Copies of this chain bind each other. A is one copy, B any other.
Amino acid sequence: MTTSDETLSRSEEKLLELQTLLSEGDQEKVCEFFAEQNDTEIAHLLESFPASARERIWICVPEELKGEVLAEVGEEVRASLMSDMEAEAVSDLTRDLDAQDIAEILDTVEPSVKEAVIDNLDDSTREQVQVLHAYGDNTVGRYMDPNTVNVKEDVTLETVQRYIRIKGLLDERSQEFMVTDKENRLVGSLSLVDLVKNNQEAQVTEFMHQSVSLLDEMDVHEAAVVLRSKELRFVPVVNADGILVGQLNIDNIMEITREDADNTLLGMSRVSDDEELFAPVMTSAKSRGVWLGINLATAFLAAYVIGQFEAVLSQVVALAVLMPVVASMGGIAGSQTLTVIIRGLAMGQVGGNNRWWLFNKELWVGVLNGLVWAFVVGVIAQLWFDNWIVSLVITLAIVINMTVANVSGIAIPLILKRMKIDPALSGAVILTTVTDVVGFLSFLGLATVLILH
């Protein structure tokens, strides 16, 4: 018997405790600490240390958890921990894992090691792993759990309960049983709750519900949007012939949801989605360098535009001083719209004729905010430089740039989506280029026309 008096505390505290133990240098105490953590907590802690400290932590991870921990950490961390593992060691670690975890781990190792480990698996697990590996990277089939608990439709609830106990079929994450016919085609599903709460003499068919299902080849991110919009905790996965091949459950959906939110944030901030917090300096520098290079190209494009107006710039230095204000206001206005639209796209709220409504709306938000802030900027510029042509030019340029920014903020992601390019990834770069170029062009162009005639 156990009593509970552990109240969960902030996750940072565990991290601090481990840091203290490591700095005291008492390896035995570190190992005692790990004996009390579960696989998810250990994976999280491993990801909270640089590679140099991970070795010292890894030797303290209990042998029986190492496989599950490897399946849970990010790919970069896994690769560093498994860098010189032999096939035999990998086989040992994966012995008690399910097919999903094994498939994930084997993605990281050398082809020769992978082959050897697969050969060592028992027949049913080997088959499941091969099924998972046969699916494309972003398909539902790749993320699904191939293990399902299947029952027949013409038995009583009591029979199902006895069958489960005899076979020891349920794991702690089970919540639904699949009802299938003789050909393993999906007929419906029965929830664990319905199994327990209803008259045990009743037939499965009475409480079975018509189960919506996913196609195994469907894009997993699309699928996550659908499942969230229906608040489903579980969904069966079938192939094109209607044969049950697995299930996607709430944990998979949550994982995909977090990945998607993460990728949007990273893409918009020009960070690669595989950058790990504690990656070595060289790895991070390289991965970020790619985006810095792309940004440099767009920055020089903006500079090139400015370069076309050297004549007016050398005559009125106030233009150089005020120039960044125009680009900055357009940049922010555009990125506000871009973010709102990318979110709407991710939630499946943008489509059909509401795109025109949104386009129209963003146009007017841009015009309205453009007018308001252009007026403010115009007044400040006039007080500062006392040059009404400069004030007029910046007022007009801000209205133009903020309107174009808002319109681009909706047009760019919609066009990218139609071209099947992830808007979160390249949307921000293209938008900044547009707002910089339009900002400098309108500001300095108008100045040239009005000042140099």
Contacts and interface: CB of A to CB of B under 8 A. Distances in A.
A314 B352 CA distance: 52
A430 interface: no
Nearest to A223: B8
How big is chain A's contact interface, by range?
A: 35 or more
The complex is assembled from copies of this chain, and their number is: 2
Interface in A209-260: 209-215, 218, 222-223, 225-227, 229-231, 233, 235, 238, 242, 250-251, 253-254, 257-258
Interface string A3-46: 11111111110011001100100000000000000101100100
A387 interface: no
A2 B229 CA distance: 23
A376 interface: yes
Interface string A265-280: 1101111000101101
Interface stretch (A97-105, A114-122, A129-137, A302-310): A302-310
A357 B23 CA distance: 14
A335 B270 contact: yes
A217 to B, nearest CB: 11
B324 A299 contact: yes
Contacts of A82: none
Main secondary structure of the interface of A (DSSP, over half): helix
Contacts of A238: 7
Q: Across chains A and B, which 5 residue pairs bring their CB atoms closest together, nearest first?
A: A261-B261, A11-B348, A269-B339, A320-B320, A2-B210
A415 interface: no
B8 A187 contact: no
Interface stretch (A84-92, A285-293, A445-453): A285-293
A296 B269 CA distance: 21
A208 interface: yes
Nearest to A424: B265
B193 A171 contact: yes
A155 to B, nearest CB: 14
